[in-house]
Structure 1
């Protein structure tokens, strides 16, 4: 009990309100500064009752200042609608309450037009992962997410499925030799490749973006940490797909998942802070701060977001091209889709900005890829264009437990057994990415049968992830 974290409910019990003062208090509590939990609670109560006495206190001064100015701060705050707009929820029985509460707040924004929650949804920052939000001429940096333009890419090769068995060691060497993973990792100067994305005018005309060009070049063609991967597997087309030009059968395929690396993360951090400075929302909604697209700041973010999306696509292109060349194979089909992005789309006859934070575009006949985990199948899908879902579907299975919880509770022996049972070779990854940390992909797919049709099933066999399980920088 002594070290139990102080949370918002504890502060409410002391008399704090759910406003910006609570946020400052929780930040101070993270440091703890040698105080016990009970001592911190006594301090927080005293600061609340006598803020003027703490204006010279190095630790509690920020809290005292905001308490003394809370009335003025709230006068500047943009009001939310009293009740949230209604929104569609898919697979509701398997979605945690935290994600629903976040979506409820998002649906109260004055710029919100419509929303939907996908069956892989779980709690995130601002908009939940698996949340889809349509707004009126406004873009929310945290509605897009930190890893801007994170995406899936699938290459189907003209090689039979049994190529995996007869060339296992070769394929493993191909993955190890043509990929690089993890937060902060990239390529040395003599290893770098060129790509047209680096010729974007923003790298020359925008000082902030210019400062990121060298990092972007260094990390071009690399993959992040966390749940990002490059993997060989078997893709099974139970029926021929005329639109893709692929005959019925099982083929060797390459599936990748990664985003815009340090470039996107830095852009996200910069414009999220800018949005919070400009758009003063209540404490419960502050991570949903938005930028009006009629402003210079909104246009800047929009251009930077699209650059990060193009860069993420370029990273996948470099990886797939390297591996295709190493295999000496021909490409039968390639499919790519992204999430963590915002699009200008039509909804009920009006142009809106659709944020898909961990959601797959699924308009009519749009192709997408919905992965499971390192030991469960993924699916190549074709969208049905369901307007209630804002033409969207899940972007994966969705987390069942947090990374911290997975590391603390899951056993490496159980993971090893599962991988052996499914005939999977794992290169890298941490326990936070164990399949048991994710929802059942089949349950998720069943919950969105109205949103997508399954075209083919992908079974991972050789999976490469960050060696240390690190997250994106």
Structure 2
């Protein structure tokens, strides 16, 4: 027996090698080639009958998985109407975001969903959308900046212990922002995430390792930031007494590494579903029991750990520079997919710009460069799939903000609130965002507010037009 004969039977990919191995065993047992070919056709026709064991069991498992994948490809038609889903802050949500969520809830793999009050239009799933699927993961349901996340560190210092000039100097020296930026090699920190064996498990991850290693401890452009400010605790919480503390808040993600992972697997998903309704093209999915889905799940989670590592290094650098230890910290990811039990069944819950809010779980919901952010504790709301907003949410797109907002007015807004800005484009101006107080008010049944963070000195990448 040889591979050419196996291929003629219609076997493909991994199944060819498994079929050849099984055929060789049968050949050594004395069976003639014609009999072996007949057995292989029988396994091909009904792989489920051979799953229990025997020489063809591994081949049967692979063929069964391929059949499932092919069924998934063929079953790509959207339902005529969306499944019902919960909406919080409907008066704050633009129609386009609701329309995108409706399309997501018509997917054949969709099982439940929710829309948060900061929701606005994104690619595929809207920003602020939460979607539960069965045995499938949607790369664009997670987003391009995989693992985008928040981190807060509380220091044993009064808010005014670090003057504005010193805070500016610290942020300029110990943070880096922007596409492609990195610390000089001699300045670069190490982190255990770079020593994981996972990087060697896929050609794509091996290829992207050097980029990830060079950018460790840095942040991207857009709405990513690091800022010193005042954390106000009105009651004892976070293991701290009530009062005001100097704190550092950051928003960062998985840099170019995560973006390339997202692009690669979105392309794979789209090729798996060439006939998917054009309205849902960016919601193409990967079955989790297929090779492609398993590979994305592994890469996605690595990107999530890498994003959190970037935060850890940013905060460690600044704590060292201040010469203090961190009293308390809070962190959460808000662009990721999680395995979660819903009505007794395991689902894949995509949160694209949404904060996990299981009962008792701490999270961070920032405002804008000049508006407060909040430490919150989740209430585990079932219909919201234990989720909350991830921020204030945009009310003006980047181009609209650049065209409509006036630099003088934005600068006055910052001055009025006592905020010093390093970098930052007009497309990230506070007026481009919804009022965070309104967003928080619309989700009182999803989270409880634990503390308030008021920004004082903010660093961001420079935008299309600096403020």
- Fold agreement, TM-score > 0.5: yes
Question: Greater CA radius of gyration, 1 or 2?
Answer: 2
Q: Which residues of structure 1 form unaligned runs of 5+?
A: 1-74
**Residues 427, 463 of structure 2: 8 Å contact kept:** no
Q: What is the CA–CA distance in structure 1 between the aligned matches of 2:120 and 2:302, rounded to whole Å?
A: 27
1:438 aligns with 433
- Given the alignment, which residue of 379, 386, 390 partners 1:391? 386
Cα RMSD of the aligned pairs, angstroms, is 1.2
2:149 aligns with 151
Give the TM-score, by structure 1 length: 0.82
- Given the alignment, which residue of 431, 453, 456 partners 1:458? 453
Is 1:210 aligned with 2:206?
Answer: yes
Is 1:358 aligned with 2:375?
Answer: no
Deviations 1:83-140 (A, max 9, x none): 1100000000110110000000000111111000000000000000000000001000
2:257 aligns with 263
Q: What is the CA–CA distance in structure 1 between the aligned matches of 2:136 and 2:247, rounded to whole Å?
A: 39
Deviations 1:228-280 (A, max 9, x none): 00000000001111xx2110000000000010000000000000000100123
Q: What are the residue-to-residue correspondences of 1:187-206 with 2, within 5 Å?
A: 187-206=183-202
1:40 aligns with none
**Residues 357, 363 of structure 2: 8 Å contact kept:** yes
Q: What is the CA–CA distance in structure 1 between the aligned matches of 2:193 and 2:464, rounded to whole Å?
A: 28
Q: What is the CA–CA distance in structure 2 between the aligned matches of 1:255 and 1:269, rounded to whole Å?
A: 29
Q: What is the CA–CA distance in structure 2 between the aligned matches of 1:388 and 1:204, rounded to whole Å?
A: 39
Q: What is the CA–CA distance in structure 2 between the aligned matches of 1:386 and 1:444, rounded to whole Å?
A: 17
**Residues 182, 468 of structure 1: 8 Å contact kept:** no
- Given the alignment, which residue of 143, 165, 168 partners 1:169? 165
- Given the alignment, which residue of 402, 408, 414 partners 1:407? 402
Shift of 1:77: 7.0
Shift of 1:421: 0.5
Give the TM-score, by structure 2 length: 0.83
Q: What is the CA–CA distance in structure 1 between the aligned matches of 2:367 and 2:271, rounded to whole Å?
A: 38
Shift of 1:76: 5.5
Q: What is the CA–CA distance in structure 1 between the aligned matches of 2:284 and 2:182, rounded to whole Å?
A: 32
Shift of 1:190: 2.3
Shift of 1:206: 1.6
**Bigger shift: residues 382-391 or 278-287:** 278-287
Matched residue count: 392
Shift of 1:172: 1.3
- Given the alignment, which residue of 339, 346, 354 partners 2:341? 346
1:245 aligns with 239
Q: What are the residue-to-residue correspondences of 1:413-432 with 2, within 5 Å?
A: 413-432=408-427
2:285 aligns with 290
Is 1:278 aligned with 2:272?
Answer: yes
Q: What is the CA–CA distance in structure 2 between the aligned matches of 1:317 and 1:387, rounded to whole Å?
A: 31
Q: Which runs of 4+ in 1 moved over 6 A?
A: none
2:230 aligns with 234
Q: What are the residue-to-residue correspondences of 1:107-122 with 2, within 5 Å?
A: 107-122=105-120
- Given the alignment, which residue of 344, 365, 368 partners 2:363? 368
Shift of 1:469: 5.2
**Bigger shift: residues 126-135 or 198-207:** 198-207
Q: What are the residue-to-residue correspondences of 1:32-51 with 2, within 5 Å?
A: none
1:454 aligns to what SS in structure 2? Answer: strand
2:383 aligns to what SS in structure 1? Answer: helix
Q: Which residues of structure 2 form unaligned runs of 5+?
A: 1-72
**Bigger shift: residues 307-316 or 76-85:** 76-85
2:13 aligns with none
Deviations 1:370-421 (A, max 9, x none): 0000111100000000001000000000000000000011011011101111
Q: What is the CA–CA distance in structure 2 between the aligned matches of 1:251 and 1:183, rounded to whole Å?
A: 32
Deviations 1:22-56 (A, max 9, x none): xxxxxxxxxxxxxxxxxxxxxxxxxxxxxxxxxxx
1:373 aligns to what SS in structure 2? Answer: coil
**Residues 225, 469 of structure 1: 8 Å contact kept:** no
Q: What is the CA–CA distance in structure 1 between the aligned matches of 2:76 and 2:288, rounded to whole Å?
A: 17
Deviations 1:412-455 (A, max 9, x none): 10111011111110000100000000001111001000000000
